[in-house]
């Protein structure tokens, strides 16, 4: 059993998760971060107290948050979605409720959920990619999360791959997430359409990543090109990660993992082409099990992966 919180820009989810990874109790409140940090902390404290009523024996709360956390897990250094900078969230919660508050990056929380109860269960060394608006990640080695010396490990989306036609939001050019995210494939298709390519995507001008994947599955040439490009760069990144930490298994989650085996097969092929020891040291590549609940389930299980 464990209490987990998934702190997002729009909503805060809290829940009690049992030892099989099932959510027994779940509460959802709006974040409304425009009210200021103190108000959100008050809401978090109230939420934790409510969850403790259902499970009074708990002494730890795991909190997954988007952004950069300090390596000691005490501070949210930067959380653009909530407009927080250098807030001592651990201290501010622990001063108001008698629990140990542990912070974790939300993508790492998802990686924990998969390792504890999902697609990477049983592997001591696993890596997760979350393919959504951007590309996030998580790393678990020897059954421990890797947060890094400055708390910014597993920022896979910002690995530099090659020159690209648009700059990343981070300011660099060539980041993995400008090739292998939903944003990346949407921008790629738009760019090609402006160049005069034809595609069934023109029927829906505000197409999203899902529409591109559906079009690719329906043999649309442009959409297929965009998805192949995503898989090529992602396979390249997975191969390079294998040269650095040699994971046993890599799991693919996030909104784009909706594409299922269709995308997974492409990613596997592109990875194998680039591995140093494709026959001897090939990471298994799988689809993530959890969707929207991954952050909550992972946060509730954080302590045993520290």
Q: Is 107:126 a contact under the CB 8 Å cutoff?
A: no
Q: Which long-range contacts (CB under 8 A, 24 or more apart) does 161-165 make?
A: 161/233, 161/236, 161/237, 162/233, 165/191
Q: Which residue number, 51 or 239, has a Cβ lying nearer to a second copy?
A: 239
Q: Which residue number, 31 or 147, has a Cβ lying nearer to a second copy?
A: 147
Q: Which residue number, 34 or 165, has a Cβ lying nearer to a second copy?
A: 165
- In angstroms, what is the minimal distance from the CB of 175 to a second copy? 8
Q: Which residue number, 58 or 246, has a Cβ lying nearer to a second copy?
A: 246
- In angstroms, what is the minimal distance from the CB of 92 to a second copy? 22
3-state secondary structure of 25: strand
Phi-psi region of 144 (alpha: psi -120 to 50; beta: other; left: phi over 0): beta
Q: Which spans of this chain sit near a second copy (rule: CB under 8 A)?
A: 68, 77, 123-125, 139, 141-142, 144, 146-156, 158-160, 162, 170, 172, 236, 239-249, 274, 276-277, 280-281, 283
What is the Cα–Cα distance from 90 to 88, expressed in whole angstroms? 6
- In angstroms, what is the minimal distance from the CB of 65 to a second copy? 17
| Tokens at 107, concatenated | 């993508």
76-79 and 68-69 strand pairing? antiparallel
Q: Which residue number, 43 or 248, has a Cβ lying nearer to a second copy?
A: 248
| Stated length of the chain | 306
Residue 306 to residues 62, 71, 116: CA-CA distances in angstroms? Answer: 11, 11, 13
- In angstroms, what is the minimal distance from the CB of 35 to a second copy? 27
- In angstroms, what is the minimal distance from the CB of 4 to a second copy? 23
- In angstroms, what is the minimal distance from the CB of 257 to a second copy? 20
| Tokens at 204, concatenated | 């829906």
Q: Which residue number, 31 or 183, has a Cβ lying nearer to a second copy?
A: 183
């Amino acid at each position: 059993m464990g209490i987990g919180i998934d702190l997002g820009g729009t909503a805060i989810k809290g829940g009690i998760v049992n030892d099989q990874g099932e959510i027994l109790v779940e509460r959802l409140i709006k974040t409304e971060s425009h009210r200021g940090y103190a108000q959100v902390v008050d809401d978090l404290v109230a939420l934790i107290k409510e969850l403790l009523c259902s499970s009074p024996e708990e002494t730890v709360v795991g909190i997954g948050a988007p952004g950069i956390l300090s390596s000691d897990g005490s501070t949210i250094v930067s959380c653009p979605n909530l407009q927080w900078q250098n807030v001592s969230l651990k201290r501010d919660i622990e001063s108001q409720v008698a629990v140990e508050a542990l912070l974790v990056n939300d993508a790492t929380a998802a990686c924990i959920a998969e390792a504890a109860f999902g697609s990477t269960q049983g592997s001591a060394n696993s890596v997760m990619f979350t393919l959504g608006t951007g590309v996030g990640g998580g790393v678990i080695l020897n059954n421990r999360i890797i947060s890094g010396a400055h708390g910014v490990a597993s920022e896979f989306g910002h690995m530099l791959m090659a020159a690209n036609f648009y700059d990343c939001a981070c300011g660099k050019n060539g980041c993995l997430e400008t090739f292998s995210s939903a944003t990346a494939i949407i921008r790629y298709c738009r760019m090609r359409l402006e160049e005069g390519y034809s595609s069934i995507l023109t029927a829906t001008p505000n197409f999203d990543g899902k529409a591109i994947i559906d079009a690719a599955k329906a043999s649309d040439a442009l959409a297929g090109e965009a998805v192949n490009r995503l898989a090529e760069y992602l396979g390249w990144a997975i191969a390079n990660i294998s040269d650095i930490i040699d994971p046993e298994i890599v799991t693919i989650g996030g909104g784009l993992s909706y594409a299922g085996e269709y995308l997974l097969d492409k990613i596997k092929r592109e990875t194998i082409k680039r591995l140093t020891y494709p026959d001897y040291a090939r990471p298994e590549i799988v689809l993530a099990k959890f969707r929207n609940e991954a952050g909550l389930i992972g946060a509730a299980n954080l302590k045993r992966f520290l």
